[in-house]
């Protein structure tokens, strides 16, 4: 199996046009950039109404695995959240008659130079929700896109209410009935 060589660049446009180098791992990207790097996937280029139009425009660019097309919902639309109905043996209501408008964009995965402009740094969603503060739409989108992070390291599993550890073998959990 061959590793994917991702471009090392300051932004997605530079990754397509003239990257500083290519690297499969962070330490290789660090050597190519000479400074800190972070892995990023960013949209670039114009939005296309259909996938076929985007494939026709980008053509051979899509041959590389670090470049792909992604469908995105266009901003500024009012989207209603689906509430479970639990009626007539169905959990979810039927889909809306008109789906949201979408566009196809080219997504580029690359090693971004750490000193380059970064996307908005967002707080954890649970902290924002507890604070009850109002957020702008861009911050909400950034929070939705960020990976989940644990509040604290995972603790070892507890034993159940009716389980005990025998004194002569504390590594064993036995049912106590």
Q: Is the dihedral of CA 107, 109, 111, 114 positive or negative?
A: positive
Residue 23 confidence (pLDDT): 92
pLDDT digits (tens, 9 = 90+) for 52-81: 999 999 888 888 888 999 998 888 887 777
| Residue corresponding to tokens 């408008």 | 101
| Residue corresponding to tokens 């530079």 | 14
pLDDT at 147 over 70: no
Task: Kindly report which listed range (38-47, 76-85, 93-102, 148-157) carries the lowest average pLDDT score.
Answer: 148-157
Residue 121 confidence (pLDDT): 59
pLDDT digits (tens, 9 = 90+) for 98-132: 888 899 999 999 999 977 655 555 667 777 777 87
| Average pLDDT of the chain to the nearest whole number | 82
* Nearest alpha-carbon partner for 36 in 12, 10, 57, 58: 10
Task: For residue 22, name the pLDDT band (cuts at 50, 70, 90).
Answer: very high
pLDDT at 8 over 90: yes
Residue 157 confidence (pLDDT): 65
| pTM tops 0.85, yes or no | no
Can you state the percent helix, strand and coil of the chain, rounding each to 5?
25, 25, 50
């Amino acid at each position: 199996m061959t590793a994917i060589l991702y471009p090392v660049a300051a932004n997605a446009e530079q990754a397509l046009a003239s990257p500083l180098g290519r690297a499969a791992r962070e330490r290789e990207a660090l050597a190519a950039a000479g400074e800190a790097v972070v892995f990023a996937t960013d949209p670039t280029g114009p939005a296309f109404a259909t996938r076929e139009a985007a494939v026709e425009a980008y053509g051979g660019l899509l041959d590389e695995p670090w470049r792909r097309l992604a469908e995105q919902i266009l901003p500024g639309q009012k989207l209603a959240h689906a509430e479970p109905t639990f009626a007539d043996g169905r959990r979810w209501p039927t889909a809306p008659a008109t789906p949201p408008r979408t566009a196809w964009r080219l997504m580029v995965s690359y090693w971004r130079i750490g000193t380059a402009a970064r996307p908005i740094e967002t707080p954890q969603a649970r902290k924002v929700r507890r604070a009850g503060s109002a957020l702008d739409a861009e911050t909400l989108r950034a929070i939705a896109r960020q990976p989940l992070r644990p509040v604290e390291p995972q603790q070892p599993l507890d034993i159940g209410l009716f389980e005990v550890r025998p004194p002569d073998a504390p590594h064993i959990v036995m049912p106590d009935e």
